[in-house]
Amino acid sequence: MELIITEKDNAARRIADILSGESAEADRQNGVNVYKWGGKRCIGLSGHVVGVDFPPEYNDWRDVEPVELIDASVEKQPTKENIVRTLRLLARDASRVTIATDYDREGELIGKEAWELVREVNEDVPIQRVRFSSITKNEVSSAFENPDELDFDLAAAGEARQIIDLIWGAALTRFLSLSARQLGNDFISVGRVQSPTLKLIVDREREIQAFDPEEYWEMFADLQKDDEAFESQYFYRDEDGNEAERVWDEETAEKAYETLESATQATVDSVSRRTRTDSPPAPFNTTQFIRAAGSLGYSAQRAMSIAEDLYTAGYITYPRTDNTVYPDDLDPEELLDTFVGNYHFGDDADGLLEQDDIEPTEGDEETTDHPPIHPTEDIPTKGELGDDEWDVYELVVRRFFATVAESAKWEHLKVVSTVGDLTLKANGKRLLKEGYHAVYPYFNTSENYVPNVEEGEDLSIIDTRIEDKQTQPPRRYGQSRLIEKMEKMGIGTKSTRHNTIQKLYDRGYLESDPPRPTRLAQAVVKAAEDYADLVVSETMTRELEEDMTAIAEGEADLEDVADSSREILATVFDDLEESREEIGKQLQQSLKEDKTLGPCPECGEDLLVRQSRRGSYFVGCDGYPDCTYTLPLPNKGKPLILDETCEDHDLREVKILAGRSTFVHGCPLCKAEEAEEAEDRIIGECPQCGEGAGSESQRDEGGETAEEHGGELAIKKLQTGSRLVGCTRYPDCDYSLPLPRRGEIEVTDERCEEHDLPELVIHNDTEQSSAGQSDESDDGDEPWELGCPICNYEEFKQRERKSGLEVIDGIGAKTAEKLAEAGIDTIDDLKDAEAETVAEQVNGVSEDRLRNWQAKAD
């Protein structure tokens, strides 16, 4: 029996279909899919199924000093027991093993892990390696016809990264967390790559905070020839002879504007035209792909997740690549020809094939592992992909089209005019030849019209204006720009940079997008700079990356590099240990600042966001137990304290992070006061304790008095900002029904015949997050006809009972079946699931989709 091992289950399914002519059948063993046909078996791993860790005696943070981890032994242990067990069972009977993991450093290491697991149970079986850049019939078939051997040097480079990252991350994380007394789920995470990345972001934030704006003035005049008007701007020559538009002295600006404002004509001094060639872009490498996807609104993590799904499905080439030069064996005409006749891309492909010469563009980086990202000959229909997947797929296709398209041409027209001793300029541009823009509509092609004028011609001045402006601070790095910066500085790799940014978000170091560092992030960076600068040094990180490259090329030894890294970390700890107390105080103060809202209205101490033992969040006074003042917060999501401050209470506003249901809660004290002031709106009788809830005889037999009945239903607003329909006899009667958090509630004259309650309509609601409703409406301006609140809630409960997971928008019957096979049968199962693990087990379901479903489930 031949055993084929791939990196993930969806790759196993795809490769099995290709090699078997789609005759392979899936068999479940230990909860793992095994694809079989003839004498072959194919199993997908779940990325790394073996992990590196310290021996168990190092697990207790309080009993083991962090510095001890530097020289601790590192051992390998299975992390996915069911997959490892299944792989071993299959390997025992294998007569040949083929490793078909991704072709990069990480994939080679995963392949080596599989090699070691096979060798544990079968010492003599031949093991071969196949490599490909796209999971298409041609590439996969060719790879299996020309197998190779595992590259143990490349795998060793990946293993070195694992070991070094474990030692650095664990030792430094424990040291900082213990120093700040921050244990449990709120530990302070530090990493070899994430720390210098964080410093980049913190340094930019410091520039923004230190920025001192300067005032300047700009002047404009609208000129007119016949009926055609265009804008001109005042300029002058600075000391270096360059054109300058900003006037830095107010008196000078006002004097110049007086001249401009009083004039009625401007005389054309010069007219110049030039034609500029606009060359097509280079092929996509990972960084440029992430940048382009970012312009479409996709985070780096999301863009790569979608690209990986498209790669596994066989629609694009491997998305982790530095290469910007197509390989010699790629025939652009042949690939273009596969798109001829396609509904979405056929016309563009036809037009490109009609060109006299098809010569692809080239970037600066040429490597031999993977080609630039481009589409394969397997073209999906739009219906086979989700909206996000189609967006990214079309981006990749059109980038390929652009790289084989002709250059565009622009005409630039510059008109310089004079008004007395003042000079004005107008810059027009016109697209003469569309070129690659016709097939790649992601770049700005807006034109600026300036009419044809002649030197010496007089133009009417029909309007003038002066604008008082200020210089602006540097912009925060967007995710794609940050990844470009990391690439230039040698921080991380093409495979890890987007994950590093996501980890910084997950660890509570970053908020918003573009990323902004929290106070904790700034304190961690400052502590490192003050006491152990190597922790945030990109130089050290870059040198380690170079060492790992040397390992991959057989020029260095894994053990030597790891030992060298241990020595560097030991010198870091020499400095840290001397300043443990100071570091702890610094971090504790920043942690408190990140949780501080403002002054307590009762005692003046700080109000802090706290977490109860049950995990819910609330606002409590730092003066506790002397002051017991508290305010509630919404019971779902994680609070994030914003910079905006309430004018009435001097408290910072709060945002609740809850996936797609994220919303700004505002000032907690305002919400509490609004709830206190809001009058309950009675809408009917309580079905649980109202007058009609039971007969007089039933009440008498039960020993209840009339005072225990007579409850009414009212629309209530809670101090958490939530709203509900609840009984007026609360807490004696706890009957309640959920309502959307936002939107004006209209009580209509229409009544429910069954429950005798008015039907409700929600206006301008953008959340619609009550029972079973989608988190987002199709149109936030359209009223939502909620109807009878009891009927709405009962319909939701019925859907939940009937279809389980299918109550979540986006989960259909087939997907629910796939999830059930992975052990996810209920909403609670979905909430508790690890997105990464499930995504690797369930075909066609990415981590991002799972996290979106989990947010909806909450």
Give 812-839 as a DSSP string. -HHHHHHHHHTT--SHHHHHHS-HHHHH
Indicate the pLDDT class of residue 614, thresholds 50, 70 and 90: confident
- Residue 98 phi, psi dihedral angles, 5° rounding: -120, 125
pLDDT (mean) for 340-358: 93
What confidence score (pLDDT) does residue 797 get?
A: 72
Least confident of 1-5, 10-14, 434-438, 590-594: 590-594
Instruction: Give yes or no for a contact between 406 and 435, defined as CB atoms under 8 angstroms apart.
Output: yes
Task: Summarize the confidence of residues 388-405 as an average pLDDT.
Answer: 96
Per-residue pLDDT averaged across 724-750, rounded? 86
Cα 504 from Cα 500, distance rounded (Å):
6
pLDDT at 681: 87
Q: Which amino acid is residue 780, in one-letter code?
A: G
Over residues 433-445, the mean pLDDT reads 94
**pLDDT value at residue 192:** 85
Q: Is 774's pLDDT higher than 60?
A: no
What backbone phi and psi angles, to 5 degrees, belong to 296? -95, 0
- 286-295 and 387-403 helices cross at what angle (nearest 10)? 120
Mean pLDDT of 427-440: 95
Of 704 and 87, which is predicted with more confidence? 87
Q: Give the mean pLDDT of 322-327.
A: 90
Q: Do 809 and 827 contact (CB within 8 A), yes or no?
A: no
Residue 563 contacts residue 616 (beta carbons within 8 Å): no
Give the residue among 711, 743, 744, 742 at the shortest CA–CA distance from 727: 711
Q: 601 with 649: CB under 8 angstroms?
A: yes
The span from the CA of 381 to the CA of 344, in Å, is: 9
The pLDDT of residue 776 is above 60:
no
Residue 125 pLDDT class (50, 70, 90 cuts): very high
> Where residue 770 falls among pLDDT bands split at 50, 70, 90?
very low
Read off the pLDDT of residues 663-705 as tens digits, 9 standing for 90 and up: 888 899 998 888 888 888 898 888 888 776 654 433 444 444 4
Helix (H) or strand (E) holding 171: helix 152-179
3-state secondary structure string, 410-467? Answer: EEEEEEEEEECCEEEEEEEEEEEECHHHHCCCCCCCCCECCCCCCCCCEEEEEEEEEE
H/E stretch holding 760: strand 758-763
Query: Which whole number is the average pLDDT over 389-406?
Result: 96
Paired residues of 632 in beta bridges: 618
The least confident of 102-106, 290-294, 786-790, 811-815 is 811-815
The mean per-residue pLDDT over the stretch 838-844 comes to 70
**Which residues is 516 bridged to in the sheet?**
511
Mean pLDDT of 377-390: 90
Tell me what pLDDT residue 386 has.
Answer: 87
Q: Which residues have a Cβ under 8 Å from the Cβ of 512 and sit 6 or more positions away?
A: none
- At residue 499, the pLDDT reads 86
How many angstroms separate the CA atoms of 333 and 520, rounded?
54
End-to-end CA distance of the chain: 46
Q: Is the dihedral of CA 547, 550, 552, 556 positive or negative?
A: negative
Cβ contacts of 338 within 8 Å, gap of 6 or more: 377, 379
More confident: 328 or 150? 150
3-state secondary structure of 57: helix
Strands 2-6, 40-44: parallel, antiparallel or unpaired by DSSP?
A: parallel
Looking up tokens 């003839």 gives 38
What is the model's pLDDT at position 700? 41
| CA neighbours closer than 13 Å in the CB half-sphere of residue 172 | 30
Phi-psi region of 11 (alpha: psi -120 to 50; beta: other; left: phi over 0): alpha
* CA-based nearest residue to 286, from 70, 493, 546: 493
Average pLDDT over residues 107-126: 94
Mean pLDDT to the nearest integer, 106-135: 94
Distance CA 233, CA 424 (A): 5
Report whether 292 contacts 442 (CB < 8 A): yes
Using pLDDT thresholds of 50, 70 and 90, give the confidence band for residue 807. Answer: low
**Most confidently modeled of 390-399, 481-490, 703-712?**
390-399
Which run of H or E residues covers position 86? helix 81-92
62-71, 88-97, 731-740: least confidently modelled range: 731-740
What pLDDT score does 660 carry? 56
Burial 337-350 (b: 16+ CB within 10 A, else e): eebeeeeebeebbe
User: Which residue in the block uniquely carries the two structure tokens 């530095």?
Assistant: 322
Tokens of 544: 């380690």
Is it the case that residue 778 has pLDDT exceeding 60? Answer: no
Mean pLDDT, to the nearest integer, of 639-657?
87
Mean of pLDDT over the chain: 87
- Taking only the tens place, the pLDDT of each residue in 539-555 is 878 888 888 889 988 99
> What is the predicted pLDDT for the residue at 823?
67
Written as six digits, the tokens of 799 are 């859907």
Confidence class of residue 857 from pLDDT cuts 50, 70 and 90?
low
* Phi, psi at 128, each rounded to 5°: -120, 165
DSSP code, position 407: P
pTM of the model: 0.75
Q: Which residue has the tokens 């490793």?
A: 99
Token pair recorded at residue 85:
């067990």
d(CA 414, CA 271): 6
All residues at 6 or more sequence positions from 52 whose CB lies less than 8 Å from its CB, including other chains: 74, 75, 76, 159, 162, 163, 166
In this prediction, residue 766 carries a pLDDT of 44
Residues with catalytic annotation?
318
Say whether pLDDT at 802 is over 80: no
In this structure, the dihedral spanned by the alpha carbons of residues 437, 439, 442 and 446, taken in order and rounded to 10 degrees, is 30
For residue 177, pLDDT over 80 is answered with yes
Query: What is the structure's pLDDT at 706?
Result: 47
Q: Check residue 836 and give its pLDDT.
A: 64
pLDDT above 80: residue 373: yes
What mean pLDDT is predicted for residues 15-29?
Answer: 92
